Structure 1
Amino acid sequence: MRTYLSLLWTLVRVRIESLKEQPEAGYTTEAVVGIALLVLIAIATFAVIAAKVANKAESIDLGL
Structure 2
Amino acid sequence: MFTEVQILVAQIRVELERLRNDDRGYSTEAVVVTALLVSLALAAVAVLAVKAIQKANSINL
Higher relative contact order (CA 8 A, sep 6+): 1
Aligned residues: 43
Q: Indicate the RMSD between aligned Cα atoms, in angstroms.
A: 1.3
Which consecutive unaligned segments of at least 5 residues does structure 1 have? 1-19
Q: What's 1:12 paired with?
A: none
In terms of fraction of residues, the more helix-rich structure is 2
Determine the C-alpha separation between the residues in 2 that align with 1:47 and 1:60. 20
CA radius of gyration, larger in: 2
Which consecutive unaligned segments of at least 5 residues does structure 2 have? 1-16
Q: What's 1:3 paired with?
A: none
**TM-score by structure 1 length?**
0.63
Determine the C-alpha separation between the residues in 1 that align with 2:56 and 2:46. 15
Identity of aligned residues (%): 51
1:2-50 Cα deviation digits (max 9, x unpaired): xxxxxxxxxxxxxxxxxx8242111000000000000000000000000
Give the aligned residue type for 2:25: G
